Structure 1
Amino acid sequence: MSKLFIYSICFVFLTINLNAKSLSLEELIEIALENNTNIQLSKNQKDVSEQRLRQSQASYLPYVTSSANTGEYDIKQSGVKQDGNATSVSVNANQLIYDFGKTTTAIKASKYNVEASQEDVTSIEKQIILAVKKAYFDILNRHQQIVVSKEAVKLDELQLSQAKEYFKAGIRTQIDITNAQLQLSNSNLKLIQANYDLKKAKTNLISILGKAISEDLKIQLDEEDIKLLAQNAELKYKNVEELIDIAIKNRAEMKKYESLIKANKESVKNANYQYLPTIDVSASYNEKDSDDISTLDSNQTAVLLNVKWDIFTGFSRDANKKIALSNLSSSYKQKEQQELAIIEAVTNAHLNTKQSFESIKISLLSLNLATKNLDLASQRYQAGLNDLLELNDAKLQYTQAKSNLVNTYYSHLVNNANLEYTLGLIK
């Protein structure tokens, strides 16, 4: 009971600590790698492969069995009846001497299957890292969208204040006040939506982390203005041919199929070796004792060299060989298909990074122009040279331009992460 209480307290304090501290991207990735369910499942499958390797290695070790029994006997022989109790004990041992490669190839195949399982774990881990990065950048995006929405609210509050002052001065009419109130209401609605979008983004991240953390989870945010962040955006990779070579070399999926091909080659050898004999040595000791029936008393020791050769097995060996060959062929085809998929993924990811990088430049230009346009529209409105419609259009264009820059910048970060994933370099 006391241990359960201590564990509960530790869990509570750990949860509070996670919620109180602003976690970095690296810390979030570490939490996900330790707790994500998909990673745990892949590690369980690797454990299964390791135990199958142990099973195949067990063939090199001796098999020892023993048995004992006691019972009552009733024997009739040549008209003479004997009855009484008897006990027996037996010990048997068997040791493989040589099986012409059956065990060796089975062990090698199991080792390669363990390697393939490890690459599966690595592949899942990299997928989770990518998912964490996407969720993290989505949260940063939502935070910046809240900043944009709050700025829009402030602009509309300022417009409403100006409209009221101009109305008092007799410069503007009541419709300007009503319109400004409507714009402020719409901006507040968008701010509410932005806040709930942030909560949804956090929920998505928590699901990926695989740990019970409340929605109050805090992460490290970008403190700089979105314009400065966008101006420092980089295009890391340029030559797509070199990227494809890097991906083929580094992707865990390719290494997995290379290991499976090796495993299936050993399985083909194993299927061929099934046509050959097996040589082993066996030893046994048997003792039976009865106080009532002397004819049952016996003591026997044997050491035998055995040669077993399956002459006909109902074509099962032929079937096993065909299965092994089919599995080998499938592994080659799967590797080829995986390579094509990687080439496509790398090419598309590279194009996406170039597109988002170029889009950042255009978005920065659009924001600068929208800022100037808003300043001019505000000055014209204050001077009575335009109506509220022109000012509202300028504000809308400004907030849309800033929101687009936020989306474009964080899309570029996601595209960079996706490219690193397709290259097998994400970490």
Structure 2
Amino acid sequence: MNRALTIFLSIVFLATAGAVRAGAETHSIPEPPLIMSDSPKTVEDLVSIALDNEATLRKAIEDEKLIGLATRSAYGTFMPSVRAGADFTNTRSEIPIIQGGTIVGSSEKWSSQSTMRLTVTEELFRGGARFFDLRRALLTVDNTRLSTDFTRQQLEYNVKTAVYRYLSAENNLSLAREILEQQRDNYRFAQARFASGEVIELDVMQAEIDVNNAENAVLEAEQTLENAREALNLAIGANLESRYPVQGELEPVLPDLDPDELVAVAIRTRPDYLSMKNRVAIQHSAIKSANAAYLPAASMGAQLQRTGSEIGQNRFQLSPESETRYYWFNLSWTLFDGFQRELNREQAVIEKRKAMWDLRRQEQQIAATIRQEWRSMDRLYNQIRVSDKNRTLARRQLDLEQERYRIGASSQLQLRNAQVTFNQSETDYIVKVFNFFTTKAALERDIGRPLEEVTP
């Protein structure tokens, strides 16, 4: 028994020391990756990079590392509690030696006492509260996973939005450069007509102003593209100096889906909605746990204690010989506690009702949001078809006005009106396409999966 106790205490000491050392360790995180590549990156490639490097998601994954320990801790409430303890007492006393009324010296006495104990206790019954507490703990663990899933979906939405913004910025820059070339053509036409005496110098001056404005628009579009590049790098957790081409075609396609079916998919799969359902179940278990307080509780335990003492020795006895064993069984039943049980139960009931109200509100909010996003996609898709026709007509109109102005059959005012119409129609098309794809990304986030995976 002495050897077993010594081994047990040694294991406890080593485990405690190891835990302290592990807690004292410092952990570093990697630097954001610098991506310098000539190969195009798809949305899927960028999402994959973000899953490994984006800070918000990585923090959520760090929380998931506690799931295993939290689960074991939940089941551990059904296991016995084991405690070890030890007491060491050392006493020194001096007794003066008196001869003829004078202290001529002293005698020294030592005594020591050692006590070691090992206690095991087990809770047998607490009205079933442990079962309901276990249920709540497991639901809380499940909510941790759902929180990570929700963060992952939000990350995918952020990356997609950043990609679409970058591609739109590229299109805007291409448009700005095209408009600049058109304004330069208009400027050359004005110079030629001024040289032939067909127009006054004001036409040349206005055409030059239009060229300068177009150059400023190109500079602004270049900055917007660079800002979009940095925003994309930030969204995927990469070094802000990273540079790579982005592969993607913004070609709108409206799937043949029923918005009510999309709502049903969201109700089945959305992590935040499932987490809210778990919250209702947690509060239901809290009511059951509060009801358990009205029932009796039972526990049992055992203790092994060894005690030894030494008189006249200045040392501790590490192998005490006197052994005592204790066994007990405890049964208790709280009959009245000042209405605290009633208060706890009513609080749990109220919290469950509040959670149910929140669940109903969220379900309505999900349905409204998804229907609104679907209607927005449908509207944008039809508007894009109209805008595409307009940009084709506007380009043709501008080509004709440029030719008419060049040959002297049109005025500069008519040419500038055609140029403005062209600029507006192209910009309107780019904006509507961007809004279509960002709305689609939001809809996919809100239903919890890509639209392509939803069966009509």
Q: TM-score range by the shorter chain?
A: 0.7 to 0.9
Q: Distance in 1 between matches of 2:238 and 2:46?
A: 11
Q: By how many angstroms is 1:102 displaced?
A: 1.7
Larger Rg: 2
Q: By how many angstroms is 1:19 displaced?
A: 5.5
Structure 1 residues 384, 170: closer, same or farther in 2, change over 3 A?
same
Q: Distance in 2 between matches of 1:393 and 1:242?
A: 47
Q: Distance in 1 between matches of 2:60 and 2:274?
A: 16
User: How many residues are treated as equivalent by the alignment?
Assistant: 404
Q: By how many angstroms is 1:194 displaced?
A: 0.9
Residue 179 of structure 1 aligns with which residue? 206
Q: By how many angstroms is 1:298 displaced?
A: 4.3
Deviations 1:309-357 (A, max 9, x none): 3344443333322232222112211110110110110111011001100
The answer on 1:236 being equivalent to 2:239 is: no
Residue 444 of structure 2 aligns with which residue? 420
Q: Distance in 2 between matches of 1:169 and 1:362?
A: 41
Q: Distance in 1 between matches of 2:271 and 2:73?
A: 26
Higher helix share: 1
Q: Distance in 2 between matches of 1:97 and 1:127?
A: 45
Q: By how many angstroms is 1:20 displaced?
A: 5.3
SS at match of 2:311: coil
For residues 16-415 of structure 1, the aligned pairs below 5 Å read: 17-18=35-36, 21-47=39-65, 51-73=69-91, 84-214=111-241, 216-222=242-248, 230=251, 233-292=252-311, 298-415=322-439
Deviations 1:52-103 (A, max 9, x none): 443332222221112222223589xxxxxx9722222111111233333121
TM-score by length of 1: 0.86
Q: By how many angstroms is 1:196 displaced?
A: 1.2
SS at match of 2:198: coil
Structure 1 residues 140, 292: closer, same or farther in 2, change over 3 A?
same
Structure 1 residues 11, 52: closer, same or farther in 2, change over 3 A?
closer
Is the 8 Å Cα contact of residues 183 and 211 (structure 2) preserved in structure 1?
Answer: yes
Identity of aligned residues (%): 19
RMSD: 2.9
SS at match of 1:23: coil
Residue 78 of structure 1 aligns with which residue? none
Q: Distance in 2 between matches of 1:47 and 1:273?
A: 32
Deviations 1:371-391 (A, max 9, x none): 221122122212212211111
Is the 8 Å Cα contact of residues 126 and 426 (structure 1) preserved in structure 2?
Answer: no
Residue 317 of structure 2 aligns with which residue? none
SS at match of 1:218: coil
Q: By how many angstroms is 1:179 displaced?
A: 1.7
Residue 79 of structure 1 aligns with which residue? none
Structure 1 residues 45, 261: closer, same or farther in 2, change over 3 A?
farther
Q: Distance in 2 between matches of 1:24 and 1:320?
A: 54
Q: Distance in 1 between matches of 2:143 and 2:436?
A: 33
Which residue type is aligned with residue 75 of structure 2?
Q
Which residue type is aligned with residue 248 of structure 1?
I
Q: Distance in 1 between matches of 2:333 and 2:91?
A: 39
Structure 1 residues 290, 221: closer, same or farther in 2, change over 3 A?
closer
Q: Distance in 1 between matches of 2:419 and 2:228?
A: 27
Q: Distance in 2 between matches of 1:319 and 1:35?
A: 47
Q: Which runs of 5+ in 1 are unaligned?
A: 1-6, 76-81, 224-228
Q: Distance in 2 between matches of 1:54 and 1:387?
A: 83
> 4+ residue runs of structure 1 moved beyond 6 angstroms?
none
Q: Distance in 1 between matches of 2:67 and 2:352?
A: 18
Residue 226 of structure 1 aligns with which residue? none
Q: Distance in 2 between matches of 1:314 and 1:207?
A: 57
Is the 8 Å Cα contact of residues 56 and 103 (structure 1) preserved in structure 2?
Answer: no
Range that drifts further, 414-423 or 132-141: 414-423
Q: By how many angstroms is 1:152 displaced?
A: 0.4
SS at match of 1:300: strand
Structure 1 residues 222, 164: closer, same or farther in 2, change over 3 A?
farther
Q: By how many angstroms is 1:44 displaced?
A: 4.5
Q: By how many angstroms is 1:11 displaced?
A: 5.6
Is the 8 Å Cα contact of residues 253 and 338 (structure 1) preserved in structure 2?
Answer: no
Q: By how many angstroms is 1:202 displaced?
A: 2.3
Is the 8 Å Cα contact of residues 186 and 402 (structure 2) preserved in structure 1?
Answer: no
